[in-house]
Structure 1
Amino acid sequence: MEKLYCLIMAGGSGTRFWPRSKTAKPKQYLNIFGEDSLLQSTIKRFSTFTEYEDIYIVSGKTQAKVLEEQTPMLPKQNLIYEPVGKNTLPCIGLAAMFAEIDNPEGIMVVSPSDHLITDEDLFKDTVLTAAKVADEKDGIVTIGITPTYPATGYGYIKAADEITSGEKIKQFKVDRFVEKPDEKTASGYLQQGGFFWNSGLFIFKVSVFLDAVKQFAPDLYDDLKKIQAEIGKETFEPTLDTIYRAVEGISVDYGIMEHAQNIYLVEGNFDWNDLGSWESVYLTDKKDENGNAGSGEAILLDTQNSYVYSDEGLIAVVGLDDVVVVKDGNTTLVCKRDKTEDVKKIVEQLKAGKKNEFL
């Protein structure tokens, strides 16, 4: 198999993790669990089978300072800054243009920066299996997470024919991608079988992916080629800024995966959590005898099944169950656990009110 590259997408704003997630230091740069940030944990996960010099990160310019602080192990030229976020297809295409210069037949693994994966040996085996499929089939491979409950927060992938030949990790052709369902539909998927959660992990030969971009998003391909021609030159940044701002923002699912025929799925049975909200952090974190979780100084009286975090000082909670309390600097969040998806609305209101001191 050819050289293995890794692209970590780290440009998200993490608005559902306010108030800890701020503009200058979004969710992926936070140490939600342990000492390492989510991004640093992701880099370490891939460094067990990918060289540091072959790990790329795409992020936003506003995150440059914190990104460089957290990634001294990576070459600076591997840190790619989007002038503005344009969704996943331009992001992945841009990084693929960098890798193509080095080795167009190399295999690239694309990963979000902020997922929690604990079974790292099985994760490694799964990714390497997917890389083998991508290499041998000239396909674009996604890792589908085996669903454990009828989740409504994930997109789903319907598997078609199994192509596994004796391997322990199952492999399939992909039938179709489906949008985030309601609970009834999701329950039907689980009963029917053959549906997987869309993990956002993709594996492909660089040349195969760029051929798909050329076929299904030709305008984007032409623009990325113009940017690629300036890599390593003084004209790169102004060219990137001018061209990239004008490209269409579109997801890789819409732009490529729903149209191409050479799409495969490798089954992911490792422990996986996309940490989409404070509720998901609570569910993942260790609990005390009252079902409470969190970190920092806190006194919890007559309080159960709650998540409490304080960056400094003390938080006292009395007589409240099923709540999230997060204090960070000059901001504090208090909400019911079943409302954590609405935290992003607070950020929207703060932006509308131009209260940047809290963002």
Structure 2
Amino acid sequence: MSENPFIAIIAGGAGTRLWPRSRSGNPKQLLDFGQGESFIRQTYRRVAPLTAPDRLMVITGPELAGAIAGELPELDPSQIICEPSPKGTAPAITVAAAHAARRARDPTLITVGSDHYIGDVDAFRRCLRSAAAAARQTGGLLTVAVRPTHPDTGMGYIHVGESAGAFVGIPVHRTREFVEKPDKATAARYVAGGQHLWNCNYFAFSTGSLQAALARHAPHLELLLAALIRSTDFSGELRDHWADLPSEAIDTALMERADNVFTVPAEFDWADIGSWDGVYKIAKSVPGATENYVAGGEHLGHEFLGSRGCLVDAESKPVAVIGLDDVVIVESADAVLVCHRDRAQEVADLLAQLRSDGRAELL
């Protein structure tokens, strides 16, 4: 990259499907699921070599800022930027763009999630370098997307079109459309066809190109961006606008509507760790993995008898599993979860039920 881009780690999500480990005050990006460090720490290490130290930032909420500062002591407090409340990736990325544009003239901004698994870090960095170069040279809005390994109805897909050339040695394609969470038959057709990729929610654009696109397709966000860039009181200006903003993803607010979107097809192994089944599958992809996986509390000496495909994560008690296959067992200080791995996505529904029942202390 000819310039040092700004890189924003978006870290405001709650990670509800990884309950009871992931809670509103201690979400999954702050947790270690057996890799030796938290997701956000892993993310920081991946992106830090791509830019200057003072061009990194984290977008999060005030309730997480202290914990994130503890995980990332390299960052100055001014690099941890707090949204007043969670509103989705569209407002978060707008805030990141404003922070960057206040510090440099029309800089390039890269945004990444804080809780992903990346198999090949070097390939990941090459793709982000390509996206940043393409964003600068084309004036377009860039995405990074990976080839699907199976039909997944919980994923968003990007339909890639004709080639737009190569940037930093990596081919880039025009984007035809975004498709959110197709049915099983459609997802299978996408995988077989080879033209639909999983949307990683990694983006790159110049702040000027982003502002122009927002003015056309999401004027309420362009108003926020412009106000934050020129304000002498960034935090106060943000609070003044925040209540009127809808909660929305950048995909639906902008990327699906814009006509200058390009995609970098990525070849590295990738997963959004959105459920306990996802944690298990990533663990099983590591050479030498055992048939059962202990995500936490290995020192407690868990035991498995006649059981396969199980995941155990425990804080304080040894867990014994007999004659069960493909189950998730998670023990925390105040709750225990037991579910089949193929129903792990329903943990979010369980939390909705707890909320409806007035069990806020468990959230």
TM-score of the aligned structures, taking structure 2 as reference length: 0.93
Query: In 1, distance between residues paired with 2:55 and 2:166?
Result: 30
Name stretches of at least 5 consecutive residues in structure 1 with no aligned partner.
Answer: none
Q: Which amino acid aligns with 1:293?
A: Y
User: Contact 1:140 / 1:203 at 8 angstroms: preserved in 2?
Assistant: yes
Note the C-alpha offset of 1:351.
Answer: 2.0
What residue is the counterpart of 1:292 in the other structure?
Answer: 292
Question: Residue 206 and residue 173 in structure 1: after superposition, are their counterparts in 2 closer, same or farther (change >3 A)?
Answer: same
3-state DSSP class of the match of 1:32? coil
User: Contact 2:129 / 2:168 at 8 angstroms: preserved in 1?
Assistant: no
What residue is the counterpart of 2:13 in the other structure?
Answer: 12
Q: Which amino acid aligns with 1:83?
A: P
User: Contact 2:140 / 2:205 at 8 angstroms: preserved in 1?
Assistant: yes
Note the C-alpha offset of 1:2.
Answer: 2.8
Question: 1:87-126, aligned counterparts within 5 Å?
Answer: 87-126=88-127
Query: In 2, distance between residues paired with 1:251 and 1:159?
Result: 20
What residue is the counterpart of 2:280 in the other structure?
Answer: 282
Give yes or no for the alignment of 1:340 onto 2:344: yes
What residue is the counterpart of 1:315 in the other structure?
Answer: 319
Query: In 1, distance between residues paired with 2:68 and 2:117?
Result: 19
Question: Residue 285 and residue 158 in structure 1: after superposition, are their counterparts in 2 closer, same or farther (change >3 A)?
Answer: same
Give yes or no for the alignment of 1:58 onto 2:34: no
- Per-residue Cα deviation, 1:27-84 (whole angstroms, up to 9, x for no partner): 1100113221000100110012222211111111221221222121111111111111
User: Contact 2:158 / 2:178 at 8 angstroms: preserved in 1?
Assistant: yes
Give yes or no for the alignment of 1:251 onto 2:249: yes
Note the C-alpha offset of 1:356.
Answer: 2.9
What residue is the counterpart of 2:356 in the other structure?
Answer: 352
- Per-residue Cα deviation, 1:168-200 (whole angstroms, up to 9, x for no partner): 532101111112111100111122221111110
Moved more, 316-325 or 213-222: 213-222
Q: Which amino acid aligns with 2:104?
A: N
User: Contact 2:160 / 2:196 at 8 angstroms: preserved in 1?
Assistant: yes
Question: 1:182-331, aligned counterparts within 5 Å?
Answer: 182-230=183-231, 233=233, 236-286=234-284, 291-294=291-294, 295-296=296-297, 297=300, 298-331=302-335
3-state DSSP class of the match of 2:111? strand
Note the C-alpha offset of 1:260.
Answer: 1.5
Question: Residue 97 and residue 164 in structure 1: after superposition, are their counterparts in 2 closer, same or farther (change >3 A)?
Answer: same
What residue is the counterpart of 2:129 in the other structure?
Answer: 128
User: Contact 2:133 / 2:168 at 8 angstroms: preserved in 1?
Assistant: no
- Per-residue Cα deviation, 1:287-335 (whole angstroms, up to 9, x for no partner): 8886111142211122111101112221112221110001111211100
User: Contact 1:293 / 1:308 at 8 angstroms: preserved in 2?
Assistant: yes
- Per-residue Cα deviation, 1:118-156 (whole angstroms, up to 9, x for no partner): 211111111111111111111111011111211211111
Q: Which amino acid aligns with 1:14?
A: G
Identity of counterpart residues, as a percentage? Answer: 32
Q: Which amino acid aligns with 2:315?
A: D
User: Contact 1:111 / 1:202 at 8 angstroms: preserved in 2?
Assistant: yes
Moved more, 80-89 or 14-23: 80-89
Question: Residue 309 and residue 101 in structure 1: after superposition, are their counterparts in 2 closer, same or farther (change >3 A)?
Answer: same
Question: Residue 167 and residue 96 in structure 1: after superposition, are their counterparts in 2 closer, same or farther (change >3 A)?
Answer: closer
Query: In 2, distance between residues paired with 1:74 and 1:53?
Result: 8
Question: Residue 60 and residue 33 in structure 1: after superposition, are their counterparts in 2 closer, same or farther (change >3 A)?
Answer: same
User: Contact 2:4 / 2:50 at 8 angstroms: preserved in 1?
Assistant: no
3-state DSSP class of the match of 2:237? helix
Note the C-alpha offset of 1:164.
Answer: 2.7
3-state DSSP class of the match of 2:143? strand
Query: In 2, distance between residues paired with 1:285 and 1:258?
Result: 33
Query: In 2, distance between residues paired with 1:310 and 1:346?
Result: 19
Note the C-alpha offset of 1:167.
Answer: 6.8
Query: In 1, distance between residues paired with 2:34 and 2:74?
Result: 21
Query: In 2, distance between residues paired with 1:113 and 1:8?
Result: 6
- Per-residue Cα deviation, 1:237-265 (whole angstroms, up to 9, x for no partner): 34322311211222211121122221111
Question: Residue 101 and residue 289 in structure 1: after superposition, are their counterparts in 2 closer, same or farther (change >3 A)?
Answer: closer
CA RMSD of superposed structures (Å)? 1.8
Moved more, 312-321 or 281-290: 281-290
TM-score of the aligned structures, taking structure 1 as reference length: 0.94
Query: In 1, distance between residues paired with 2:79 and 2:249?
Result: 22
User: Contact 1:23 / 1:62 at 8 angstroms: preserved in 2?
Assistant: no
Query: In 1, distance between residues paired with 2:334 and 2:305?
Result: 24
User: Contact 1:17 / 1:277 at 8 angstroms: preserved in 2?
Assistant: yes
Paired residues, what number? 356
Note the C-alpha offset of 1:107.
Answer: 1.3
Query: In 2, distance between residues paired with 1:45 and 1:290?
Result: 27
